[in-house]
Amino acid sequence: MEFEIIDFHAHPYESEKNCICIHPTAIKRSANEFIKDMDRCGVNLCCGSVVSLDKKPENLSWWEHIKPLNDEALEIKKLYGDRIFPGVTIHPESVETSIEEIDRFLANGINLIGELVWYVQGYNTYCSKNMQTILDYASEKGMVLSVHPTDYDDMDKLCENHPNLIIVGAHPSENEAFIRHVERAKKYKNYYIDLSGGGIYRYGMTRRLVNEIGAEKILFGSDYPICNLQMYVDGVRNDNLLTKEEKRLILSDNAKRILKI
């Protein structure tokens, strides 16, 4: 392939119940099929957390609900080696265990947190006292944080609270959300944007991002299997508005730099 492709924002899975495609009856739901889709689309490596959209049972704590997802993430890494770079999920209700999980993933060569998806994990800010404690530790350890954005002010405060932590905001979307992403990336040297979710289908969006913040702060992401992996790959690889060097930075080089791979 002309370009190495690292999908910085995907949600790998081993168990079918954690395949978060919103049209599951239309696809084959297996971890092996996930890898086959990567192969079909020319993706070398997928990064990201295992996510469950199931409602937390009332008899479980949030950590009891989340811990199996981290276990599954590391199991996928064992099964598929250098094709998967799983992200660890942390939670503000469990400071000590979140820190222990960061250490467990670091011991497996993984310095990625998330994508954190606050709205299915029972909290609404990345700036609580407990989360700040966890992320202070993550920053000291050289982790990279991938987040589904909260509100605009909370995201700005997150960047201010942890100036040495690389924070990657997902879903640049459009209109005001897009503008706030761009303003944040200009203001904070530690804030990057991945292309997953809405926005990339708007002609010229990626070119505008490059013009505004530079190709060095943009990461290729698809949000697969929620979104169509092939559409995102082709949307960057075949974008006539991007130079070959800009594509290389976005598709792989930036991810390799920040993840130290």
Phi-psi region of 223 (alpha: psi -120 to 50; beta: other; left: phi over 0): left
Residue 247 clears pLDDT 70, i.e. is over it: yes
25-43 pLDDT per residue, tens: 999 999 899 999 999 999 9
Does 211 score more than 80 pLDDT? yes
Beta bridge partners of 116: 147
Asked if residue 1 belongs to a domain, the reply is no
Residue 199 banded pLDDT, cuts 50, 70, 90? confident
Q: Is 205 left (phi over 0), alpha (psi -120 to 50) or beta?
A: alpha
* pLDDT, position 52: 93
In a domain, 176, yes or no: yes
Alpha-carbon distance 221 to 6, whole Å?
Answer: 8
- Token pair 């949600």 is found at 11
| Residue 236 falls inside a structural domain | yes
DSSP letters for 6-70: EESSB---SSGGG---S-GGGS--SHHHHHHHHHHHT--EEEE-----SPPPTTS-HHHHHHHHH
101 pLDDT above the threshold of 90: yes
* 43-93 pLDDT tens trace: 999 999 999 999 999 999 999 999 999 999 999 999 999 999 999 999 999
| Rounded-to-integer distance, Cα 85 and Cα 232, Å | 19
Q: Which domain holds residue 80?
A: 6-259
128: pLDDT confidence band, cut at 50, 70 and 90?
very high
Mean pLDDT, the chain, as a whole number? 96
Distance separating alpha carbons of residues 220 and 223, to the nearest angstrom: 10
Please count the other Cβ atoms lying within 10 Å of the Cβ belonging to residue 172.
Answer: 28
Q: Which helix (H) or strand (E) holds 84?
A: strand 84-86
Give per-residue pLDDT as tens, 140-159. 999 999 999 999 999 999 99
**Mean pLDDT within 154-183:** 96
pLDDT, position 62:
96
Mean per-residue pLDDT, 114-126? 97
Q: Note whether residue 198 is domain-resident.
A: yes
Q: Are 74 and 105 in contact (CB under 8 A)?
A: yes
Domains held by the chain: number: 1
Question: What is the pLDDT, as a whole number, of residue 1?
Answer: 59
**In this predicted structure, what is the pLDDT of residue 197?**
87
> 95 in a domain, yes or no?
yes
Work out the average pLDDT over 215-221.
98
Per-residue CA distances from 223 to 7, 48, 85, 129, 143 (Å): 9, 9, 14, 29, 20
- Whether residue 219 is contained in a domain is answered as yes
CATH number at residue 127: 3.20.20.140
Give the pLDDT band of residue 105 (cuts 50, 70, 90): very high
* Within-domain flag for 137: yes
| 113 part of a folded domain | yes
* Of 106, 121, 130, 113, the residue nearest 170 (C-alpha): 113
Mean per-residue pLDDT, 180-202: 94
What pLDDT score does 198 carry?
Answer: 79
Name the burial class of residue 248, with classes exposed (0-12), middle (13-18) and buried (19+) by CB atoms within 10 angstroms of its CB: middle
